[in-house]
């Protein structure tokens, strides 16, 4: 997956401008029922939903194939903040090539800090394995 290759659908309430170089469409640009976007709009437009809606976190029995869901933990201030974090997600996914894909999965973005995959049971697993500290102690009794 190359950076900038994903098609994003930005939910209502997110900034509407500042997405140069990113294939992003704001849901408010569609003629549809007002309110937050959802899986229906993402499927119809074949775009990954980017939202701040907390209902996409936690356990989910969502069985239909969808283009992916990205939940932003905090409402971003501007388009460049979203671009930074979405490109970071794309980069991390490219490192998991063949193992983890955007389609059919949910992700939590803690802006400019951490990326997590939201598992079907609701647990959130870090996608930043380099942050795990492993210290190996040698026994003081070893000679």
Question: Strand pairing partners for 51?
Answer: 71
Q: Which of 12-16, 19-23, 69-73 has the highest mean pLDDT?
A: 69-73
- Percentage of the chain exceeding pLDDT 90: 52
Block residue for tokens 């990205």: 70
Per-residue pLDDT, 2:
42
Bigger pLDDT: 96 vs 51: 51
pLDDT of 68 higher than 60: yes
Task: Find, among 114, 118, 113, the residue nearest to 102 by Cα.
Answer: 118
pTM for this prediction:
0.83
Stretch 77-103: mean pLDDT: 91
DSSP-derived letter for residue 17 is S
Q: Residues 116-143: pLDDT tens digits?
A: 999 999 999 998 766 555 566 666 555 5
CA angle centred on 102, ends 58 and 53, rounded to 5° = 40
Please give the mean pLDDT across all residues of the chain.
Answer: 85
What is the rounded CA–CA span in Å between residue 75 and residue 71?
A: 10
56 backbone dihedrals φ, ψ, rounded to 5° = -85, -5
10 backbone dihedrals φ, ψ, rounded to 5° = -90, 130
What is the rounded CA–CA span in Å between residue 66 and residue 105?
A: 8
What is the rounded CA–CA span in Å between residue 143 and residue 135?
A: 20
Per-residue pLDDT, 34:
61
């Amino acid at each position: 997956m190359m950076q900038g290759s994903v098609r994003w659908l930005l939910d209502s309430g997110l900034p509407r401008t500042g997405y140069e170089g990113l294939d992003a469409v704001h849901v408010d640009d569609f003629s549809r029922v007002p309110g937050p976007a959802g899986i229906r709009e993402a499927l119809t437009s074949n775009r990954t939903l980017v939202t701040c809606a907390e209902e996409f976190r936690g356990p989910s029995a969502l069985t239909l194939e969808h283009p992916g869901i990205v939940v932003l933990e905090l409402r971003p201030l501007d388009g460049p903040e979203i671009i930074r974090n979405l490109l970071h997600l794309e980069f991390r996914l490219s490192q998991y090539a063949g193992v983890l894909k955007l389609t059919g999965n949910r992700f939590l973005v803690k802006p400019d800090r951490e990326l997590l995959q939201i598992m079907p049971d609701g647990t959130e697993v870090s996608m930043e394995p380099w942050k795990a500290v492993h210290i190996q102690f040698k026994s003081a009794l070893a000679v």
